[in-house]
Amino acid sequence: MTEVSKEEFGVIPGQGNVEKWKLKSQSVTVEIISLGCIITSLKTKDKNGEMDDIVLGFDSLEGYLTNPRYFGAVVGRVANRIAGGRFAIDGREYQLAVNNGPNALHGGLKGFDKAVWECEGTADGVRLSLISPAGEEGYPGELSASVTYCLLGNTLTVQYQATASQATPINLTNHSYFNLAGHGTPDIYDHQVSINADAYLPVDNTMIPTGEVRAVEGTPFDLRKPVLIGLRLEEVPGPGFDHNFCLSSPGAPHRNGPAPGCTTHRVAGFWR
């Protein structure tokens, strides 16, 4: 059974109250705020039954208002970059606000991460909803979006839904940063990661895919078997892993966790 509760987290002038919702099972506790659907805390047990927070976040609202890294937030309308902030639908071209060099990133100057969403509790979680007006950040059509967090036992499910008044791009995701060793460990270099992908998309110097689909075989992007993140990062050109992976089995889990010998032995699996 999941306990669901809420409290006030803070106030944003002109936007109103920000709520914090807590979802608690026997082994996991998740905290979510209505600003940006942000996961502020995700506490889980280690092999010794000790609880620790495994996502990066802030204790106060002020940290999220000044944070440029999208900690824990739902980003949209479109996650990742749109080259030049331009696209065409049905023969009509649209120009978005640009906020990452020449490109539009994570929804633009005021994406979904900066909006205060409406919240409604459910039996096992919370449903957050938002209406994005037509033309917001340059996107066509009015968009109604919802994000539902559901906690059952050890499993946190995030469900995204959206409908629009006309054709528009939509690509929502959660932007949490994980450290499965907990806040007492300063980095994740000793974590292992695996992604079941036979190919990835190379990028240009503004992090836009070049159009090539390249096999991971023989490259630092071959994560089909568990590898240490710290060692592999030394081989990746540029700022690190900021690439699209072409999943071989989209329904299969992609796992990461500390290396053997780590005291926590936490492992996380991600599905889409």
Maximum distance among all Cα pairs of the chain, rounded to whole angstroms: 59
266 vs 224: which has the higher pLDDT: 224
Sorting pLDDT into bands at 50, 70 and 90, what band is 147?
very high
Q: Tell me how far apart the alpha carbons of residues 228 and 33 are, in angstroms, rounded to a whole number.
A: 32
Q: Which pLDDT tens digit goes with each residue over 167-176?
A: 999 999 999 9
Q: Tell me how far apart the alpha carbons of residues 33 and 136 are, in angstroms, rounded to a whole number.
A: 23
**pLDDT average, residue stretch 223-242:** 93
Q: Tell me how far apart the alpha carbons of residues 132 and 188 are, in angstroms, rounded to a whole number.
A: 36
Least confident of 13-22, 220-229, 248-257: 248-257
pTM comes to 0.94
Sorting pLDDT into bands at 50, 70 and 90, what band is 125?
very high
53 vs 251: which has the higher pLDDT: 53
Contact 158, 37 (CB under 8 A): no
Q: Tell me how far apart the alpha carbons of residues 270 and 272 are, in angstroms, rounded to a whole number.
A: 7
Q: Which pLDDT tens digit goes with each residue over 206-223?
A: 999 999 999 999 999 999
User: Is a pLDDT exceeding 70 seen at residue 183?
Assistant: yes
Q: Each residue of 160-192: b (16+ CB within 10 Å) or e?
A: bebebeeebbbebbbbbebbbbbeebeebebbb
Domains and CATH numbers, the chain: 3-174 (2.70.98.10), 186-272 (no CATH)
Q: Is the peptide bond before 77 cis (omega within 30 degrees of 0)?
A: yes
Amino acid identity, residue 263? T
Q: Tell me how far apart the alpha carbons of residues 76 and 111 are, in angstroms, rounded to a whole number.
A: 6
Contact 38, 55 (CB under 8 A): no
User: Is a pLDDT exceeding 60 seen at residue 86?
Assistant: yes
The residue written with tokens 């909803």 in the block is 129
The residue written with tokens 């209505």 in the block is 34
**pLDDT average, residue stretch 111-125:** 98
Q: Tell me how far apart the alpha carbons of residues 113 and 40 are, in angstroms, rounded to a whole number.
A: 13
The dihedral over CA atoms of 234, 240, 241, 242, expressed in degrees to the nearest 10, equals -170
C-alpha dihedral sign at 158, 164, 170, 176: negative
